[in-house]
Amino acid sequence: MITVALPKGSLLRDSIELLKSIGFDFSAFLDSSNRQLQILDPTGTAKALLVRAQDVPVYVQYGQAQLGIVGYDVLREKQPQVSHLLDLGFGGCRLSVAVKASSPYRRSLDLPAHGRVASKFVHCARDHFRQLDLPVEIVPLYGSVELGPITGMSEAIVDLVSTGRTLKENGLIEIEILFESTARLIAHPLSYRLANDGLDRAIAQIREAVLTPARS
Ligand SMILES: Nc1ncnc2c1ncn2[C@@H]1O[C@H](COP(=O)(O)OP(=O)(O)OP(=O)(O)O)[C@@H](O)[C@H]1O
Ligand SMILES: O=P(O)(O)OC[C@H]1O[C@H](OP(=O)(O)OP(=O)(O)O)[C@H](O)[C@@H]1O
């Protein structure tokens, strides 16, 4: 039995579609009236856990799931001890620095020393400003990060941008990209090395499905 940790939120639908293309049906997670956090595929050969995006690598690192699907952004932020197998191509976004459009800042280095930067990606943000040798205070938030500059709590944010709509509708602009992100397939390192439970076959099928442009 293979167990796969799936992220709630933005990546869930594409993750379920990908697994469906290799014969595992976890579409029950898309039914909003369903409250189950663990479901068996109807064939009884695989199980899926529904977890918060940041928790996917935790279940994989500790071996409760042999496989997981998670954004590269989360891997950069959490640095989990997992095997990084494959870029799945969906969930494209980027981690960027953004400021109020009306502010004078147009690159990270324009920000004032000891200014504040709000982010859910505390480690990535800290690394970015450390590399620039610009001392800033990172303010950890859990969501709606854009409110940092809007309310005046912070001069800037480090947050995910996809279409750019959230920034635009909140009067912010992107001034620097830290890195691009897509969804990744990760594995529990020991399980991957031992390749038990048809794991090898499932990984090969996922690889094949990702390389084949149209999923059925
Ligand atoms: N706007 C977006 N467009 C595309 N992919 C995104 C977008 N926002 C986030 N992602 C990707 O989806 C992953 C999950 O993000 P999502 O916004 O669903 O959850 P979260 O808000 O980070 O987690 P939680 O709701 O548990 O706090 C991110 O780690 C990123 O890889
Ligand atoms: O560029 P866009 O396509 O507008 O997407 C970017 C938004 O998506 C994510 O937020 P999410 O929906 O996860 O909400 P959150 O603020 O609670 O993290 C991210 O934090 C941005 O706010």
Residues 176 and 190 placed together within one structural domain of the fold? no
53 lines ligand 1 (CB under 6 A): yes
**Whose Cα sits closest to atom 12 in ligand 2?**
10
Question: Looking at the structure, do residues 111 and 142 belong to the same domain, yes or no?
Answer: yes
Distance 8 CA to ligand 1 centre (A): 9
Split at pLDDT 50, 70, 90, the class of 67 is very high
CA gap 105, 12 in Å, rounded: 36
CATH of residue 6: 3.40.190.10
Domain check: are 105 and 158 in the same one?
Answer: yes
- Count of structural domains, the chain: 2
Domain that holds residue 168: 93-180
Residue 185, ligand 1, Cβ within 6 A: no
Check whether residue 67 and residue 101 sit in a common domain: no
How high is the ipTM of this complex?
A: 0.95
**Residue 91 Cβ contacting ligand 1 at under 6 Å:** yes
Same domain, 84 and 99: no
- Complete DSSP assignment for the chain: -EEEEEESSTTHHHHHHHHHHTT---GGGG-TT---SEEE-TTSSEEEEEE-GGGHHHHHHTTS-SEEEEEHHHHHHH--S-EEEEE-S-S-EEEEEEEETTSS--SGGGSPTT-EEEES-HHHHHHHHHHTT---EEEE-SS-TTHHHHHTS-SEEEEEESSSHHHHHTTEEEEEEEEEE-EEEEE-HHHHHHT-TTHHHHHHHHHHHHHSSS--
pLDDT by residue (tens digit) across 112-132?
A: 999 999 999 999 999 999 999
Question: Are 87 and 129 in the same domain?
Answer: no
Does the C-beta of 215 come closer than 6 Å to ligand 1? no
Residue 159 and residue 201 in one domain = no
- State the average pLDDT over residues 130-151: 98
**Domain assignment present for 216:** no
The answer to whether residues 167 and 86 belong to one domain is no
Q: Tell me: pLDDT of 176 over 60.
A: yes
Q: Are residues 87 and 7 in the same domain?
A: yes
Question: Considering only CA atoms, which residue is closest to atom 2 of ligand 1?
Answer: 162
**Does the beta carbon of 160 sit less than 6 angstroms from any atom of ligand 2?**
yes
Mean pLDDT of 124-144: 98
Position of tokens 């502010």? 103
- 62 occurs within a structural domain: yes
